[in-house]
Structure 1
Amino acid sequence: MLQHELIRRVGELCRGDDDLVAALTYGSFPAGEADEHSDIEFWLFFGSAQPNPVGWLEMIAPFRHVVVNEFGSHVVFFPGLVRGEFHFATADEIGSVRTWPARSADLGRMIVVDRTGELRAALASLPSSPELPDPAELCGRFANWLVLAHRVAQRGELLRAVDALGQVQRHLLWMVRLAEGRTEHWLTPSRAAEEELPGPVVAALGRATASAADPGAVREAIAAAWGCGAGYWRRLVDAVPEELFADLTVLSMGAQRHD
């Protein structure tokens, strides 16, 4: 795969750059889950001499385009639409790694360069998996997004309702993963969902996302989301808010009758 050659080249550049204090890779490749569709992803920590990010990226391989995303990282599109994500940071920011929710792989597979040992110490301080939320709070957040989707749809803001339903599905995925004990891809709950979750549940999750920004599709998605979510909420929490359940059940039934 082209990704393997790109990763090799990034490692070569990191080891040869005296201004680079530390570097790590994360995501599917160090986790051993990569395939031909996977991105390559790096954090690069430089000392006093900060590089020109685009110039540094040009040394890896020819690319089609580079853009700074909404999180401040440089996203590179290599030939074949292979995507690379590079975070250019200072050595002073190595300590911020300690605030991450978890490691994504073994230390030996993540560390590319660590000239001071600070990066290894920061990564070693992280848990191997993220802390899971309180089930009742998670289910409440699911209800929050579901009610918002309903309300904005009633106002006629169908695109906003579809956007809210994306959050509904994300929280529903978390609820299902928590109840089914499949939390290995917690930070990206849709990752490998088709392989890790029961087939009927995956189908229900698919129906919980509006197929189009029209009233019927939004109503159908809301009804499907509650049809799946209500059962998982009861599995996760002993004492559920019964009055809210009744309201949401009426909402769901009303959507089904309307269709």
Structure 2
Amino acid sequence: MLPQENLIRRVRQLCHDDPRLVAALMYGSFAQGKADEHSDIEFWLFFDAAPDPHAWLAAVGDTLHVVVNEFGAHVVFFPGLIRGEFHFAQANDISSVRSWPALSGPPDRMIVVDRTGELRQALESLPAEPPHPTTPAEVAEVCGRFANWLLLAHHVTARGELLRAADALTHADRHLLWMVRLAENRTDHWLTPSRQAEADLPPNVIQALGKDPATTWALGRRYWQQLAHRHDFPVPEALFHELDAAING
């Protein structure tokens, strides 16, 4: 048994015992049934009377540190470097679940507490998989966004801002992964295209990522042309010509 499962059982018990809590759900790898020893535990908690988050989390188990991340979630570092992510929300926020792009797992695995039935209704309104670009305009937009970040990486590299270039290239690589997933019909992990990329995508793609703008452009150029041919939209030949000359020297 994974140590995360003991923490999950404790969270479930706290949820059931807390009268302030209207609904709670688990998401991520454990909700999907795909967790391993490296997986986080992740929850949304909906209260009609807000608790003290730090006190509530301390009741889950020993903690090494708690921080509120840039998305407003409380991230907990448990012993063994287990990471927990907890979103403390109000009961009237349950309806916002309907705006999520897709389910994180089967509703029965996700739901921890649902005292009103509203959470189940919200979850069952979601698609099983997130939508991905399908029209020529949508696919072309992904390719154009790839070029946007790639060109920025090229310019700041030439300026000598190498850390900024690495950051921009990371964004270019993310869009390249989306392009590859579309071209290879591997859209399973669309929201996080790097997830299981080593297993999902061709080895030459994995080897090319994160190296330099020229390597990224060579791969992206090929996939852009492939997608343009498949979805019948024009390739911006003038842009290709200038990128070839600038990036390849």
Q: TM-score, normalised by structure 2?
A: 0.94
State the Cα distance separating 1:198 from its structure 2 match.
1.3
1:191 partner amino acid:
R
User: 2:227 — aligned with what?
Assistant: 236
Matches within 5 A, 1:140-179: 140-179=144-183
Alignment of 1:172-211 (within 5 A): 172-205=176-209, 209-210=210-211
> Residue in 2 aligned with 1:24?
25
Partner of 1:5: 6
The residue identity in structure 1 corresponding to 2:64 is R
2:15 corresponds in structure 1 to 14
User: Residue 154 of structure 2 contacts residue 247 of structure 2 at CA under 8 Å; is this kept in 1?
Assistant: no
- Partner of residue 214 from structure 2, selected from 213, 223, 234: 223
Matches of 1:28 and 1:179 in 2, distance apart?
Answer: 26
CA distance in 2, matches of 1:163, 1:249: 22
2 CA distance for matches of 1:18 and 1:161?
A: 51
Partner Cα separation in structure 2 for residue 93 and residue 71 of structure 1: 15
Q: Shift in Å at residue 159 of structure 1?
A: 1.4
Tell me which moved more, 80-89 or 29-38: 29-38
User: Larger deviation: 234-243 or 148-157?
Assistant: 148-157
Q: Distance in 2 between matches of 1:29 and 1:182?
A: 22
Mind listing any 5+ residue stretches in structure 1 that lack a counterpart? Answer: 211-220, 255-259
SS of the residue 2:179 aligns to: helix
Structure 1 residues 3-45: Cα deviation after superposition (integer angstroms, max 9, x where no partner) = 0111111111111111100000101111122110000000000
1:216 maps to which residue?
none
What's the CA shift for 1:199? 1.4
Query: In 2, distance between residues paired with 1:204 and 1:152?
Result: 20
Letter paired with 1:84: G
SS in structure 1 at match of 2:61? coil
The 5-angstrom pairing of residues 78-117 of structure 1 reads 78-117=78-117
Give secondary structure in 2 for the equivalent of 1:80: coil
Give, in angstroms, the shift of residue 123 of structure 1.
1.0
| Segment drifting more, 135-144 vs 122-131 | 122-131
Q: TM-score, normalised by structure 1?
A: 0.90
Aligned residues: 240
Deviation at 1:252, TM superposition (A): 2.9
**C-alpha distance in 1, partners of 2:27/2:58?**
21
Give, as a single letter, the amino acid of the residue that structure 2 aligns with 1:32.
G
- 1:213 equivalent in structure 2: none
User: For residue 227 of structure 1, what is the amino acid of its counterpart?
Assistant: A
Q: Partners in 2 of 1:253 and 1:193 — Cα distance?
A: 27
Deviation at 1:251, TM superposition (A): 2.2
Which AA in structure 1 matches 2:203?
A: G
Q: Deviations over 1:38-81 (max 9, x none)?
A: 0000000001x210000000111101000000111000000011
- Partner Cα distance (2:33, 2:183) in 1: 26
Are the equivalent residues in 1 in contact too, given 2:186–2:201 (CA < 8 A)? yes
Mean Cα displacement is larger for which, 236-245 or 22-31?
236-245
Deviation of residue 249 (structure 1)?
A: 1.4
% identical aligned pairs: 63
The reply to whether residue 62 of structure 1 matches residue 78 of structure 2 is no
Contact 2:208 2:215 in 1 (8 A): yes
Q: Does structure 1 residue 138 correspond to structure 2 residue 161?
A: no
Q: Which runs of 5+ in 2 are unaligned?
A: none
Aligned-partner SS, 2:88: strand
Distance 1:9 1:231 in 2: 50
